Amino acid sequence: MKCTFTLNGKETTVEAGETTSLVRVLRDACGLVETREGCGEGQCGACLVFVDGNLVNSCLIPLFRVQGAEVDTIEGLRDRRLFTELQAAFDAKRVFECGFCSGGVLMAAYSLLLHARAPSDEAIRDALSGNRCKCGTYPAIFEAVQSVVATRRRRARRRG
């Protein structure tokens, strides 16, 4: 099928099987390779993207479901301040080892901080519980997100 949707702010048309998973379309047809395919079962979170503002596992979304939708991938967030803050915090904490899960983790953290100004530790853990890191870097991921939240709190206090 031919499917037209808005990808990172630009109208995009692709041709693929209607049940082809969105992650394969993004990677193979659109060349956006930082959305990764891990388990293919919606359990590892490596393929997280926004569809109409909702964070979803793109391995579970068939192409026909995004007809007319707005799809945002990690490549589309590059210039956003919150994303660069998160990326800087993850780098400062030397979080990732192999980096395979990195895109999905950053997307989940971005989604959390987009909707919650200063989430609790529990909320951070909950928000990132759908992401699997085979290298086991969970404590460092947690610390990196916490550090962004702490920076936000400090900034808010300064503003009074």
Partner 1 sequence: MVSTYRFVDDLSFKNMLVAATVRSRVPHGRIISLDGSAAEQHGVCITRSDIPGRDTIGTAGAEIPVLAGTTVCYVGEPVALVAAPASLVREAAEAVAVVYEDLPACADPDDAQDDLVAHQRRGEPEAAFHDAGGVVEAEYQVAACDLSGATPTAALARWDGKTLTLNVATSHPFRVRDLVASVLAVAPPRVRVIAARSSGSCAGGTATTLAAIHVALLAWRTGKPVKLRYEPTEQAESRPVSHPCRIACATALGNAGVVLAQKVEVVTDGGARRGGSGGFLERIVAAGMRGRQCVDITARLRLTNRIPSGESEAWKDVEIAFATEVHATELARSAGVDPYTWRRGTLAAPTDTRGRAVLDRVVEISDFSRRFAAYEATRRRRGGSAGAGLPVQGIGISLWSVGHDSAAGPAAVKITMSRERRATVYSSVVQTGRGGQEMIRRTVAEVLGISLEQVKLAGADTAAVPDSGPTTEARTAAIIVPLISRCCRNLKRRLATASLPLSAQARKKAEPDTAGTATVAATVVRVRQDSVTGAVRCTGWWSVVDAGHVVDPEGARRLVVSAGHRAMERVLGEGMSFRDGRVIPHDRGANPCFAMADVCEAAVELVDGRNVGGAAPAGGVIAAVAAGLPPALASAAEQASMTFVRSMPIAHLPPGGREDRA
In whole angstroms, what is the distance from residue 75 CA to residue 131 CA? 19
In whole angstroms, what is the distance from residue 86 CA to residue 92 CA? 10
What residues line the site for partner 1 (CB under 8 A)?
Answer: 27-28, 31, 33-34, 36-41, 43-44, 46, 59, 78, 87, 90-91, 94, 96-103, 106, 124-126, 128-142
Q: Which is nearer to partner 1, 66 or 131 (CB)?
A: 131
Q: Which is nearer to partner 1, 56 or 69 (CB)?
A: 56
State the nearest-atom distance from the C-beta of 138 to partner 1, in Å: 4
CA dihedral 87, 144, 37, 65 (to 10 degrees): -80
Q: H helices of 6-137, where?
A: 22-24, 81-92, 102-115, 121-127
Q: Which is nearer to partner 1, 64 or 156 (CB)?
A: 64
Q: Which is nearer to partner 1, 11 or 41 (CB)?
A: 41
State the nearest-atom distance from the C-beta of 52 to partner 1, in Å: 25
Could you give the strand order of the β-sheet that contains 10-15, starting from the edge strand earlier in sequence?
Answer: 10-15, 2-7, 70-72, 48-51, 54-57
State the nearest-atom distance from the C-beta of 71 to partner 1, in Å: 19
Q: Which is nearer to partner 1, 6 or 43 (CB)?
A: 43
